[in-house]
């Protein structure tokens, strides 16, 4: 089948499907006042298994396919490109993951505390029982081995076997430090040949048992030895990557490993809350309140929001029989009570996003467990610490102490349990905490201090219950600077002293520049020298200030491309593990992984003393993709309130020239998200965007307020119903106007794109000004943010919550004024015929004003989306269809170009990220945009770009 030429008669298409309401509309009210009528509220109750709903969504899929049937040649080529890109990315990602594991295992490699925007590298690296990289995916403990709790653990892959076998043997009485000589005793394949070696866990046997039980696959995600030496915790799953996992506790004895507790559903991270064997008086800390020698295993449950503690009796008190559950005497004195068998809740994330759990060295030869609540932007909003000897079920947060979970309501008494390092009282505050020797370090920022500051405090203990915890500011970011990440050297050696502090560290900072209208930022590495620490750790216990100071050395520029997104960072410190003393001992090497709109994931290695840098691919590049064929630009769009909104642009230069040679105006797709303070979502490399550039589109990103592109202050400026309506929506409109006025595209060649929370941004902007753009693609969009708030009382960080008074009638009225679903009529009708745009809008648009009529819309939902239900998109399209049908604009194609705007709905099985993995849907979206924006549609676009081998000249064969 060939594409239609401009004069060909139209192909017959079915009429758009209409979804009929079931019963009278529901009146949605808040605070006693009616807000709006919802004729499709029943969709949420019936769910995705309703036969009538499934039939309707199938009809929508068929209708969308029929409307775009003549673009199948373009769709087929685009789908092939995306499929090739996905396959290449998967292979490259596997290689990059292996390289990253090697980097992380390198001697002296130090991950950051956290990267703002959701990248937490410290949790995995510091979460091991031996600290800093005890367990490496695919390598286990390594052939050299690590020392934990009086034993040396190591991993080898015996000859002829596909998987690792993990061994241990007792350390010599005088040797507790890591030593390669204490490891496998013969290298790869030697295994149990070392004297006194015993098998701890055989992955080959576990995989065979999983296959015999009919499970789909097997992966050992983590093996965590107890510091007391009597047990290991195994986290297992049916396959690699994220997904459900189970936790089992294995008791170690002369006869091997015996199942003692589990399986329990877990999200992965685990941490033993007990001191090392042979650490003297600390064994008699708060843990002993549950019985002499009780061990507590903390784990993140399957909800990812709750940390639980599993109490286990002394290993020597158990019989030799196998026990597949944690009942009997393994239930911490509760006689096998079901609540304690599943673990006692000890922490929950206040935002119900997810919790973090890790274990790290703290104090003199001690270990602490840390938990953190994660805000929707992926950064920690509060952090608590269980110091060495602390009792996990003591000092619980108030939100847990009121009920549920066995003895989880125990307060435990002051000083016995959890210590608040940073409480979550300020919803705008974000914090990242690191432990080193006898000190805690923290980066903290908030709406009042968006740049942030570096703080330090002597390590708390279970004895003082944190009463002596006093944070002192070491450094402030300063004007035009944001602290993005802190690196510290590897932990100090044993016996370093209770007040040991690092000699130096490294800060990554974003520094505001003068280019791009005053909004551009550069990344710099700022070496730190710590001074003044003593073994006493200062006089914090008596009210004095900690005897620790920090000074910053000159910044080292990090040569990243403009508007690059930082994904990961690793610092290899120079000098000794204590930081090299006051002189610093060198600042080492920095390894970063980044991407941008035109740069696939890339690793940059920067030698900090010399500034020399080298780059290599890190996976994810489509086959044949050539960054050199692409160009980028940036501008700052003036918002109505005077703010300058960053806009990043990218395009394929040969494709753009090909369109110009054919007399076609270049189309532009402007992406926007603008919620939860997330920056990485905005301008990272993505194959569907590369495809659009390959097809001649310019791709833009509007970094509107509410997102995190310029830090916490920028994010807070767009949080809340009123601010989002005024700032975020106004910023997106300003960006679109600036692009039209600046000659980047004609208004009729401009499309907007938003997904998830970006749906209420793009949908709200178009509901306010339907002629702002010619088309929009909305993927798993939240188009009715008001409904969950007022109908079910669900709150969020973005809006507040009715239950605690942070979302009230005034907020509901402000949200209803711009929410897409509540203003669906304006979006259906478009501007009144002949009506011009508002004078200020016309001026911003360069005199062209807004477009007449409603925009073309492609709306995409996922049937099993747990974050944004399919009902949001389905009911919005149903109301739009009804309104357009009533007005005579039903979206049917009546000729070579549609006389009425297209309105298409796609539905896929799957969750929130279903469309990211679908090459077919990515190709259909590209065809939709070609039809909506290019004069002559997909056929004209294909003829302009050429066919067959001619496509190779455009930088992506």
More confident residue, 241 or 52: 52
Query: Distances in Å between the alpha carbon of 929 and those of 11, 74, 90, 650, 820?
Result: 19, 12, 27, 17, 21
Cis preceding-peptide flag for 263 (omega within 30 of 0) = yes
Tokens encoding 730: 């106004």
In this prediction, residue 326 carries a pLDDT of 32
In this prediction, residue 533 carries a pLDDT of 65
Render pLDDT for 82-94 as a digit per residue (tens, 0 to 9).
Answer: 888 888 777 666 6
In this prediction, residue 423 carries a pLDDT of 82
User: How many angstroms separate the CA atoms of 619 and 622, rounded?
Assistant: 9
Residue 385, pLDDT above cutoff 50:
yes
| Arithmetic mean of pLDDT, 458-480 | 84
In this prediction, residue 900 carries a pLDDT of 75
Most confident of 464-468, 798-802, 898-902: 798-802
Cα dihedral 573→576→578→579 (10° resolution): -40
Residue 640, pLDDT above cutoff 60:
yes
Residue 686, pLDDT above cutoff 70:
yes
Among 337, 319, 474, 345, smallest CA distance to 405 is for 345
DSSP letter for each residue of 186-240: SSTTTGGGSTT-EEEEEHHHHHHHHHHTT-S--EEEEEEE-TTSSEEEEEEESSS
Residue 739, pLDDT above cutoff 90:
yes
Residue 386, pLDDT above cutoff 80:
yes
| Arithmetic mean of pLDDT, 625-635 | 92
Specify the DSSP class assigned to residue 283.
G
In this prediction, residue 187 carries a pLDDT of 42
User: How many angstroms separate the CA atoms of 152 and 323, rounded?
Assistant: 26
Cβ(601)–Cβ(619) under 8 Å? yes
In this prediction, residue 695 carries a pLDDT of 94
| Arithmetic mean of pLDDT, 311-320 | 60
User: How many angstroms separate the CA atoms of 122 and 951, rounded?
Assistant: 44
Specify the DSSP class assigned to residue 667.
P
The least confident of 497-501, 544-548, 888-892, 922-926 is 888-892
More confident residue, 280 or 689: 689
The least confident of 383-397, 628-642, 718-732, 831-845 is 831-845
* 903, β-bridge pairs: 857
User: How many angstroms separate the CA atoms of 523 and 667, rounded?
Assistant: 32
In this prediction, residue 351 carries a pLDDT of 73
Q: How many CB atoms lie within 10 A of CB 461?
A: 25
More confident residue, 888 or 171: 171
Cβ(699)–Cβ(649) under 8 Å? yes
User: How many angstroms separate the CA atoms of 645 and 268, rounded?
Assistant: 40
| DSSP E strands, 14-137 | 26-30, 33-38, 109-110
Q: What is the mean pLDDT of the chain?
A: 78
Element (H, E) at 385: strand 380-386
In this prediction, residue 322 carries a pLDDT of 35
| Arithmetic mean of pLDDT, 309-336 | 47
In this prediction, residue 442 carries a pLDDT of 93
Give residues with Cβ within 8 angstroms of 90, minimum separation 6: none
375 falls in which pLDDT band (50, 70, 90)?
Answer: confident
The least confident of 41-55, 592-606, 655-669 is 41-55
User: How many angstroms separate the CA atoms of 353 and 381, rounded?
Assistant: 11
| Arithmetic mean of pLDDT, 756-784 | 94
3-state secondary structure of 755: strand
In this prediction, residue 887 carries a pLDDT of 67
DSSP letter for each residue of 730-750: HHHHHHHHHHHHTTSS-GGGE
Among 646, 678, 647, smallest CA distance to 798 is for 678
In this prediction, residue 456 carries a pLDDT of 94
Residue 898, pLDDT above cutoff 50:
no
DSSP letter for each residue of 398-449: HHHHTS-SGGGG----TTSS-EEEE-S--TT-EEEEEEETTEEEEEEE-SSS
Domain boundaries, the chain: 47-88+627-784+819-834+847-887+899-953
**Exposed, middle or buried by CB within 10 Å (0-12, 13-18, 19+), for 33?**
exposed
DSSP letter for each residue of 671-715: E----TT--HHHHS--HHHHHHHHTT-EEEEE--BTBSTT-HHHH
In this prediction, residue 767 carries a pLDDT of 93
Query: Distances in Å between the alpha carbon of 350 and those of 354, 423, 434, 774?
Result: 9, 10, 21, 41
Specify the DSSP class assigned to residue 80.
H
Query: Distances in Å between the alpha carbon of 263 and those of 228, 325, 519?
Result: 22, 7, 52
Task: Give the end-to-end CA distance of the chain in Å, rounded to a whole number.
Answer: 23
Render pLDDT for 540-578 as a digit per residue (tens, 0 to 9).
Answer: 444 444 579 999 999 999 999 988 988 888 898 864 434
In this prediction, residue 844 carries a pLDDT of 41
User: How many angstroms separate the CA atoms of 193 and 824, rounded?
Assistant: 73
Render pLDDT for 475-515 as a digit per residue (tens, 0 to 9).
Answer: 999 888 999 999 988 877 766 666 788 888 999 999 987 55
Percent of the chain at pLDDT above 70?
Answer: 74
In this prediction, residue 955 carries a pLDDT of 42
Q: Within the chain, what is the greatest distance between any pair of CA atoms?
A: 90
3-state secondary structure of 303: coil
User: How many angstroms separate the CA atoms of 53 and 50, rounded?
Assistant: 5
Q: Which residue is listed with tokens 């969504």? A: 57
User: How many angstroms separate the CA atoms of 35 and 819, rounded?
Assistant: 12
The least confident of 453-462, 580-589, 608-617, 694-703 is 580-589
Query: Distances in Å between the alpha carbon of 942 and those of 84, 897, 945, 947?
Result: 20, 16, 5, 7
For 47-88+627-784+819-834+847-887+899-953, give the CATH class. Answer: alpha beta
User: How many angstroms separate the CA atoms of 501 and 345, rounded?
Assistant: 33
β-pairing, 668-671 vs 698-702, is parallel
Cβ(497)–Cβ(438) under 8 Å? yes
In this prediction, residue 66 carries a pLDDT of 94
Q: Which residue is listed with tokens 């590049």? A: 621
3-state secondary structure of 545: coil
In this prediction, residue 804 carries a pLDDT of 67
613 falls in which pLDDT band (50, 70, 90)?
Answer: very high
234 falls in which pLDDT band (50, 70, 90)?
Answer: very high
Percent of the chain at pLDDT above 90?
Answer: 33
In this prediction, residue 826 carries a pLDDT of 83
User: How many angstroms separate the CA atoms of 516 and 606, rounded?
Assistant: 26
Among 103, 211, 43, 95, smallest CA distance to 601 is for 95
In this prediction, residue 86 carries a pLDDT of 82
How many helices and strands (H and E) does the chain possess? 21, 39
875 falls in which pLDDT band (50, 70, 90)?
Answer: very high
Tokens encoding 830: 């478009």
In this prediction, residue 325 carries a pLDDT of 33
Cβ(461)–Cβ(386) under 8 Å? no
The least confident of 26-30, 185-189, 236-240, 426-430 is 185-189
Cβ(454)–Cβ(486) under 8 Å? yes
Q: How many CB atoms lie within 10 A of CB 483?
A: 24
34 falls in which pLDDT band (50, 70, 90)?
Answer: confident
Render pLDDT for 413-431 as a digit per residue (tens, 0 to 9).
Answer: 333 588 889 887 788 889 9
């Amino acid at each position: 089948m060939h594409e239609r030429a401009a004069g060909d008669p139209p192909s017959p298409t079915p009429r758009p499907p209409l979804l009929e309401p079931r019963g009278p509309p529901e009146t949605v009210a808040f605070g006693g006042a009616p807000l709006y009528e919802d004729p499709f509220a029943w969709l949420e109750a019936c769910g995705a298994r309703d036969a009538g709903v499934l039939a309707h969504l199938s009809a929508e899929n068929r209708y969308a396919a029929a409307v775009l049937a003549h673009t199948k040649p373009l769709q087929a080529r685009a789908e092939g490109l995306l499929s090739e890109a996905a396959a290449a990315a998967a292979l490259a990602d596997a290689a990059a993951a292996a390289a990253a594991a090697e980097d992380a295992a390198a001697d002296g490699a130090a991950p950051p505390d956290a990267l703002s925007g959701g990248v937490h590298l410290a949790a995995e690296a510091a979460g091991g029982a031996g600290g800093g990289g005890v367990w490496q995916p695919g390598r286990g403990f390594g052939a050299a081995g690590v020392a934990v709790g009086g034993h040396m653990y190591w991993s080898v892959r015996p000859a002829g076997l596909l998987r690792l076998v993990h061994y241990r043997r007792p350390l010599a009485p005088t040797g507790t430090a890591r030593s390669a000589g204490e490891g496998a005793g013969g290298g790869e394949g030697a295994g149990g040949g070392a004297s006194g070696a015993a098998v701890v866990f055989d992955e080959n046997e576990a995989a065979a048992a999983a296959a015999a039980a009919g499970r789909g696959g097997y992966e050992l995600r983590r093996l965590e030895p107890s510091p007391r030496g009597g047990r290991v915790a195994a986290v297992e799953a049916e396959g690699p990557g994220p997904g459900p996992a189970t936790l089992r506790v294995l008791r170690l004895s002369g006869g091997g490993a015996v199942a003692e507790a589990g399986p329990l559903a877990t999200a992965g991270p685990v941490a033993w809350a007990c001191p090392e064997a042979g650490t003297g008086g600390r064994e008699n800390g708060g843990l002993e309140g549950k019985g002499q020698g009780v061990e507590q295993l903390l784990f993140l449950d399957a909800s990812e929001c709750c940390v639980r503690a599993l109490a286990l009796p002394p290993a020597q008190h158990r019989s030799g029989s196998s026990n597949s559950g944690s009942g009997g005497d393994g239930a911490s004195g509760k006689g096998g009570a079901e609540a304690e068998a599943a673990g006692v809740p000890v922490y929950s994330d206040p935002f119900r996003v997810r919790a973090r759990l890790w274990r790290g060295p703290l104090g003199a030869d001690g270990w602490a467990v840390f938990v953190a609540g994660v805000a929707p932007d992926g950064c920690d909003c509060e952090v608590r610490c269980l110091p060495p000897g602390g009792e996990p079920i003591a000092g619980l947060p108030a939100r847990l102490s009121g009920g549920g979970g066995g003895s989880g309501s125990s307060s435990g008494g002051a000083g016995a349990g959890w210590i608040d390092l940073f409480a979550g009282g300020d919803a705008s505050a974000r914090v990242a905490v690191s432990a080193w020797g006898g000190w805690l370090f923290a980066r903290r920022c908030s709406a009042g201090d968006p740049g942030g500051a570096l703080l330090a405090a002597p390590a708390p203990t279970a004895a003082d219950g944190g009463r002596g915890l006093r944070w002192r500011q070491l450094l402030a970011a300063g004007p035009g600077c944001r602290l993005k990440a802190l690196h510290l050297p590897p932990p100090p050696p044993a016996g370093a002293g209770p007040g040991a502090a690092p000699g130096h560290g490294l800060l990554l900072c974003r520094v505001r520049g003068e280019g791009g209208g005053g909004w551009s930022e550069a990344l710099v590495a700022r070496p730190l020298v710590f001074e003044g620490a003593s073994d006493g750790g200062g006089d914090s216990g008596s009210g004095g200030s900690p005897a620790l100071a920090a000074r910053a050395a000159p910044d080292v520029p990090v040569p990243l491309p403009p508007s690059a997104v930082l994904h990961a960072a690793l610092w290899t410190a120079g000098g000794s593990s204590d930081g090299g003393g006051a002189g610093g001992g060198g600042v080492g090497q920095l390894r970063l992984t980044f991407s941008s709109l035109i740069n696939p994931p890339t690793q940059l290695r920067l030698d900090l003393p010399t500034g020399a840098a080298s780059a290599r691919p890190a996976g994810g590049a489509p086959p044949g993709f050539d960054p050199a064929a692409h160009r980028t630009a940036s501008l700052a769009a003036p918002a109505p309130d005077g703010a300058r909104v960053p806009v990043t642009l990218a395009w394929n230069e040969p494709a753009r020239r090909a369109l110009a040679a054919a007399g076609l105006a270049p189309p532009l797709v402007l992406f926007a998200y603008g919620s939860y303070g997330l920056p990485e979502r905005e301008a990272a490399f993505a194959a569907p965007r590369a495809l659009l550039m390959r097809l001649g589109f310019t791709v833009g990103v509007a970094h509107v307020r509410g997102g995190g592109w310029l830090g916490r202050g920028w994010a807070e400026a767009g949080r809340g119903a009123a601010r989002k309506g005024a700032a975020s929506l106004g910023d997106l409109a300003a960006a679109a106007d600036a692009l039209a006025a600046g000659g980047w595209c004609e208004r009729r060649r401009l499309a907007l794109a938003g997904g998830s929370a970006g749906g209420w941004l793009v949908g709200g902007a178009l509901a306010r000004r339907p002629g702002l753009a010619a088309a929009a693609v909305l993927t798993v969009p939240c188009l009715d943010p008001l409904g969950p708030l007022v109908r079910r009382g669900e709150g969020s960080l973005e809006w507040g919550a009715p239950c605690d008074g942070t979302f009230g009638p005034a907020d509901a009225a402000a949200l209803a004024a711009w929410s897409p679903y509540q203003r669906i009529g304006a979006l259906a009708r478009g501007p009144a015929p002949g009506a011009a745009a508002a004078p200020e809008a016309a001026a911003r648009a360069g005199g062209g004003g807004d477009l007449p009529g409603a925009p073309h819309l492609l709306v995409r939902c996922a049937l099993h989306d747990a974050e944004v239900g399919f009902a949001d998109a389905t009911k919005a399209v149903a109301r739009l269809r009804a309104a357009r049908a009533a007005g005579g604009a039903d979206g049917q194609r009546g000729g070579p170009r549609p006389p009425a705007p297209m309105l298409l709905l796609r539905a896929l099985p799957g969750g929130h990220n279903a469309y990211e993995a679908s090459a077919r849907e990515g190709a259909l979206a590209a065809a939709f945009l070609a039809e909506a924006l290019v004069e002559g549609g997909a056929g004209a676009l294909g003829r302009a770009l050429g066919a067959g081998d001619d496509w190779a000249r455009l930088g992506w064969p």
